[in-house]
Amino acid sequence: MKTRNLGGSGLKISEIAYGNWLTHGSQVEEDAATACVRQALDEGITTFDTADVYANTAAETVLGKALEGERREGLEIFTKVFWPTGPGKHNDHGLSRKHIMESIDGSLERLQTDYVDLYQAHRYDHETPLEETMEAFADVVRQGKALYIGVSEWRAEEIRAAHELARELRIPLVSNQPQYSMLWRVIEAEVVPTSEELGIGQIVWSPIAQGVLTGKYLPGQPAPEGSRATDEKGGANMIGRWLRDDVLERVQQLKPIADEAGLSMAQLAVAWVLQNDNVSAAIIGASRPEQVTDNVKASGVSLDPATMRAIDDVVGPVVERDPAKTQSPRRRDF
């Protein structure tokens, strides 16, 4: 397993991280989830990403149990704050000082750790002054509850404003966690150039487009039984945008490219995002340990320019590039 620095920081992380957004505490039972985490460790993954909202806190609990007994200094544990996890009262969500300070304590307890390596703002909060949010994060860092600060799905101008405040507060804002794949490239036009300038790295989620880039979804055919597309609790709404025949037909045309490169379709997809120098890590998820084993083989793979061009020629017409697709809810009325 190769490592990369997280943005411009000195923190090294495994270039393939393990995330439990849709799988732990919801789609996958705890024993199976634990087996996937153990497999990730066996494959050399040291970086684990979660959030308090995943499975309404259950994902953090499952991850904490699965990592119990591991040498803490050998792990990088990331979590996030923003979405509601309580009964949905007016202060149960967002990036107010109250919600951040209460949420970090809950996350640490569930994860069974004294600190997280990276604490991330899960979305931008339009209803809280950014100064309040960044000052609260600064206190979390100074209290030793988080070592670094990151954001997730923030726009370029939001990242720049937060970075300026972080510099004033002398806290390390080092990362952004956006969706990124061959099919979803909305960060390339604005977020990536801004992040490169500021020393911020991308920890990308859904590099396999929720499983579509594995090639298992076929045009004109129903989704395979038990797949994510058939599981209302496992991301069926998210994957729906890719289940169009024009997309699926293009994805099938990637198979010869993967074969020529000696990779599975999933490995090709993960390797593709890792070719971007601003990507510090690609987050994979799994419902079975063998999926982890397959995906990690993308670590260290270098795709030559001809392969990258061939991929662009195939998927180009169905790629989403609009920077405006990166957005946070304008109101916290969820």
Judge whether residue 128 has pLDDT over 70: yes
119 classed as catalytic? no
28 and 58 in contact (C-beta within 8 Å)? no
CB 170 within 8 A of CB 148: no
pLDDT tens, 179-207? 999 999 999 999 999 999 999 999 999 99
Least Cα distance to 79 among 17, 133, 15 occurs for 17
- pLDDT at 116 > cutoff 90: yes
Interval 92-109 mean pLDDT = 96
Task: Let me know: does 145 contact 119? Beta carbons within 8 Å.
Answer: yes
Q: What percent of the residues of the chain are helix, what percent strand, and what percent coil, each to the nearest 5?
A: 45, 15, 40
Span 300-305, mean pLDDT?
Answer: 97
Residues 303, 210, 323, CA angle at the centre, nearest 5°? 75
Q: How far, in Å, CA of 306 to CA of 323, rounded?
A: 27
pLDDT at position 91 is: 87
pLDDT of residue 90: 87
Residue 228: the pLDDT is 59
Task: Give the pLDDT score at 28.
Answer: 65
Nearest Cα neighbor of 175 from 96, 112, 118 is 118
Q: Where are the domains of the chain?
A: 3-211+266-302
The architecture that CATH gives domain 3-211+266-302 is Alpha-Beta Barrel (3.20)
- Band of residue 240 on the pLDDT scale cut at 50, 70, 90: confident
pLDDT in tens, 37-93: 999 999 999 999 999 988 888 899 999 999 999 999 999 999 999 998 878 788 889
Whether 21 shows a pLDDT value over 80: the answer reads no
For residue 4, the cross-strand partners are: 13
pLDDT value at 24 more than 70: no
Residue 126 has pLDDT above 60, yes or no: yes
Sign of the alpha-carbon dihedral angle for 32, 37, 38, 43: positive
Predicted pLDDT at 208: 96
Residues 116-141, mean pLDDT to the nearest whole number: 97
Amino acid at 16: I
- pLDDT at position 229 is 54
pLDDT of 317 reads 96
Q: Say how far apart CA 326 and CA 114 lie, in whole Å.
A: 33
Rounded average pLDDT over 126-153: 98
Measured distance CA(333)–CA(34) in Å, rounded: 34
298-314 mean pLDDT: 98
Average per-residue pLDDT for the chain? 92
Confidence of residue 235 (pLDDT cuts 50, 70, 90): low
Indicate whether 22 pLDDT > 70: no
Choose among 69, 22, 70: nearest CA to 47: 70
Query: With 90 as the cut, is the pLDDT of residue 282 above it?
Result: yes
Out of 18, 54, 119, 124, pick the active-site residue. Answer: 54
pLDDT of residue 232: 60
